[in-house]
Amino acid sequence: MHEVCGSSGERADYARAERRRPRRADQSPADTLRELPAVVVLERMPIPVLAIGPGGAILFANTAFAAMLGHTRHTMVDLTFHSIFRNLPAAEPVETMRAYADELVDLAHRDGSIVRARMSKSAMVRADDNIALAAFHDLTEQLWHDEKR
């Protein structure tokens, strides 16, 4: 999966983003961090992260997000915003994700169950950004325990 739109709009494979120049002996840790591609950092995060593009296409889903929904990163490629989000309006997906930031959302698990998660505000905040990039906190188990009390 891990396909991301490049600056010219073409899709670039995640594995290519992993390549970087060898660290120079005089290079500071801060310089190393600055050179690390964002997509590599997002993939390595243990927090579920999802990027949606115009029309609801999945531009990026890290392994943690795929696992939260019972998928692998390879099976995520066939999904769309509308096949994942269960309780959000069928409006334009990027705008919808922005409008429902910091809210509890219902996500479709591969087994048909619902995963309840809090969706963060999009990291893409400029008015002309046509991508929504959000992190998720799975609250399903916590909410299930709270309901049993």
Check residue 19 and give its pLDDT: 59
Rounded Cα distance between 41 and 53, Å, is 19
Residue pair 120/136 in contact (Cβ under 8 Å)? The answer is: yes
In a domain, 59, yes or no: yes
Rounded Cα distance between 93 and 106, Å, is 15
Select the more confidently predicted residue: 46 or 90.
46
In a domain, 67, yes or no: yes
Return phi, psi of residue 22, to 5°: -60, 145
Per the structure, the complete domain to which residue 136 belongs is given by: 29-147
In a domain, 62, yes or no: yes
In a domain, 20, yes or no: no
Which residues are registered as beta bridge partners of 76?
Answer: none
pTM beyond cutoff 0.95: no
In a domain, 9, yes or no: no
Task: Please state which of the ranges 1-5, 91-95, 105-109, 139-143 shows the lowest mean pLDDT.
Answer: 1-5
- Amino acid 97 reads M
Residue pair 14/43 in contact (Cβ under 8 Å)? The answer is: yes
Percent residues over pLDDT 90 in the chain: 58
Domain count, the chain: 1
In a domain, 24, yes or no: no
In a domain, 5, yes or no: no
Query: Which CATH number goes with the domain that contains 65?
Result: 3.30.450.20
In a domain, 15, yes or no: no
Q: What is the pLDDT of residues 75-132, one digit of tens each?
A: 998 899 999 999 999 899 999 999 999 999 999 999 999 999 999 999 998 888 999 9
Rounded Cα distance between 57 and 9, Å, is 13
**What DSSP character marks residue 24?**
P
Check residue 2 and give its pLDDT: 39
Which residues are registered as beta bridge partners of 104?
Answer: 118
